Chains A and B, each alone.
Chain A
Amino acid sequence: MTPDDLLFTKEHEWLRIVGETGTVGISDHAQKELGEVVYVELPKVGTKFDSNEPFGNVESVKAVSELFLPVSGEVIEINEELGTAPEKINQDPYGEGWMIRIRLLNQNETADLMSPEEYDEYTKQAE
């Protein structure tokens, strides 16, 4: 089940906002499409990104896919565990497979993001 406290991008990232902090990962749909993740390239803590800017890459056996930040933010933490266990993105995309935490730089950017229901509908249409 898709957790109901997430917002989604059309590029299949999710964002969970708690206060002024956002956590970002990729959706269950995205990890299934990619297949077994073997490597994640994440930015350095302190890097700032605009919304929709690429912040890293996720690589599976078959493909590499860019990661886009749903909203503008400054990286405050990256999920170091993924360095040795990138498969967590497949196993638990909304939990232990999280990628980065950011400090939100603009609280008003979430309007373009999709709710879990809207995202489910979006991925169904894409199929």
Chain B
Amino acid sequence: MPVEYSGIAKEHTAVRTAAGLFDVSHMGEFEVRGPEALDLIQVTSTNDASKLVDGQAQYSAMAYPHGGVVDDLLVYRHNAEHFMVVVNAANIDKDFEWMNSHNQLDASIDNVSDDVTLLALQGPKAIDILQPWTDVPLAGLAYYHFSRGKVLNVDAIVSRTGYTGEDGFELYFSAGKSEPVWNGILEAGGPLGLLPAGLGARNTLRLEAKMLLFGNDMDGTTTLLEAGLGWIVKFDKGQFIGRDALLKQKQEGVRRRLVGFEMLGRDIARDRYPVFIHGREAGHVTSGSPSITLKKNIGLAYLPAEHASIGASFHVSVRSKLSEARVVRTPFYKREEYA
């Protein structure tokens, strides 16, 4: 996927006001099957996949025994003995080995990443663009649910999920069909304002919605609790890798937290710019960018817990100049609920 097609701001605005189509085939997909497929997912991930019903998806993560993040992921339940796990592109091999190394169960893991195309159709017009071309009744598909069906006569999984903060769909289908489906959706959506969108807009959109990016906002050195993802750590579901360390951290309290911030002036905080509190370096910006929707400069950073309340002031070093920032409520952008 290119960084941009017609310009990041133009593509970003299209997704917020009409729709954008992303080719995110680089993401990884594993099929997990077998009588103990659920048990394998439960032990290797932090959310509670036993709560899923057939046709439901869930945001989750895998943790190391010390609590650091292996990867964040989506778990799809086809049925009690068949799940699909969607992981970050850069982590496909690592995750596959990780899951396999903890698989002493009656379950198989197939890495089907190369066989699967994933397109994300995102934006308020996504439903109107897609509905004429699929037999899946989209209005009846709740957020984080999916259905098998046809899209432009191609067998697909239609999932009401996304990484933009807008309503929309993610479409999984055979890699051999990617061109006709990509072109067909673009053609169908053109009159409604659909634009092809690239990695640049994907990043600015997800940041406004405070959806985290593995490798930037979390990794093996940070925990889900520090990252504000405690809601996907279900301590009461039974044993899972990382549980003891995370439980200890929860009981003791986190020492740093990932916060959203706004720059007070015009300086733009960017990834890895150092953060200062009372003149002392205290971390770095994990993601920073102009917000195209809000016309502000926003970002995420880990701050010491005692300095992470809404309204707290700190500084970002922008080319050796300390520029003031303030912790704000997140998400930075929240769409109006769809009916």
Contact = CB atoms under 8 A, between A and B. Distances in A.
B268 A62 contact: no
**A-side binding surface: helix, strand, loop or mixed?**
strand
B146 to A, nearest CB: 32
B105 to A, nearest CB: 44
Contact of A62 (B3, B10, B266): B3
B268 A35 contact: no
A2 interface: no
A34 to B, nearest CB: 10
Nearest to B266: A39
Interface string B1-30: 001100111101000000000000000000
A64 B8 CA distance: 14
Contacts of A36: 7-10
Interface in B183-207: 200, 204
- Interface centre among A36, A39, A60, A61, by most B CB within 10 Å? A61
Contact of B200 (A57, A59, A61, A64): A61
A116 B28 CA distance: 47
Contact of B8 (A39, A59, A61): A61
A59 B268 contact: yes
B3 A61 contact: no
B292 A61 contact: yes
A35 B7 contact: yes
Nearest to A66: B319
B53 to A, nearest CB: 40
A61 B270 contact: no
B254 to A, nearest CB: 31
Interface residues of B, number: 17
A62 B8 CA distance: 8
B67 interface: no
Interface in A8-59: 35-36, 38-39, 57, 59
Nearest to A83: B266
Interface string B261-272: 000001110100
Contacts, number: 34
A80 to B, nearest CB: 14
A60 B297 CA distance: 12
B268 A39 contact: yes
A39 to B, nearest CB: 6
B319 A61 contact: no
Given A38-B268, A62-B8, A57 B319 contact: yes
Nearest to B8: A61
B289 interface: yes
B290 interface: yes
B50 to A, nearest CB: 42
A61 B204 contact: yes
Interface string B302-316: 000000000000000
Contacts of A57: 319
Contacts of B8: 35-36, 60-62
Contact of B9 (A39, A59, A61, A64): A61
A56 B36 CA distance: 60
Nearest to B10: A36
A62 B266 CA distance: 15
Nearest to A62: B200
Contacts of B9: 35-36, 61
Contacts of A35: 4, 7-9, 200
A14 to B, nearest CB: 22
Interface of A: 35-36, 38-39, 57, 59-62, 64
Given A35-B200, A38-B290, A59-B268, 11 more contacts: A35-B7, A39-B266, A39-B267, A39-B268, A39-B290, A61-B8, A61-B12, A61-B204, A62-B3, A62-B4, A64-B270
27 contacts: A35-B4, A35-B7, A35-B8, A35-B9, A35-B200, A36-B7, A36-B8, A36-B9, A38-B268, A38-B290, A39-B266, A39-B268, A39-B290, A57-B319, A59-B268, A59-B290, A60-B8, A61-B12, A61-B200, A61-B204, A61-B292, A62-B3, A62-B4, A62-B8, A64-B268, A64-B270, A64-B319
